[in-house]
Amino acid sequence: MNKGVNILVGNNEAGKSTIIEAIHLALTGLYNGKYLKNELTQYVFNNEIITEYLQSLEPNKGNKPLPHILIEIYMDGEDLAEFEGDGNSQKIKSSGISLKIAFDEKYQKEYEELVKIGGIKTLPIEYYNEVI
């Protein structure tokens, strides 16, 4: 996005609404009117990435890392000191907000056991959490 006003234009199903939903989610934590942390499903993740991850769990496919969601909103303007820091993916000093939903490392042991058993057909969303 550019500074100032931005206009999203595109064909149906191009992702215009998804961009607006992602911004809303990062700013409020709400998805479809409910707090995402209480309503998290694998359907908010990129479907292609989920499919690739699940296929990688099959024998001799080389496990891919667990997928995550990262939404970063960079802001420009005065009086934004409370939003300033370098906790973004680029590690640069900037003002903004980020939301990351990722695998919670405290469940590593349980996850490894689940992978050993095999037959995982869905993203193990119960092991995910909002990362700050």
Residues 29-62 pLDDT 10s: 898 889 988 889 998 999 999 999 999 988 777 7
The DSSP result for 45-62, as a single string, is S-HHHHHHHHHHTSTTS-
Distance between CA 40 and CA 98 in Å, rounded? 17
Residues 91-118 pLDDT 10s: 889 999 999 999 999 999 999 999 888 8
Specify the amino acid at residue 58.
E
% of the chain surpassing 90 pLDDT:
46
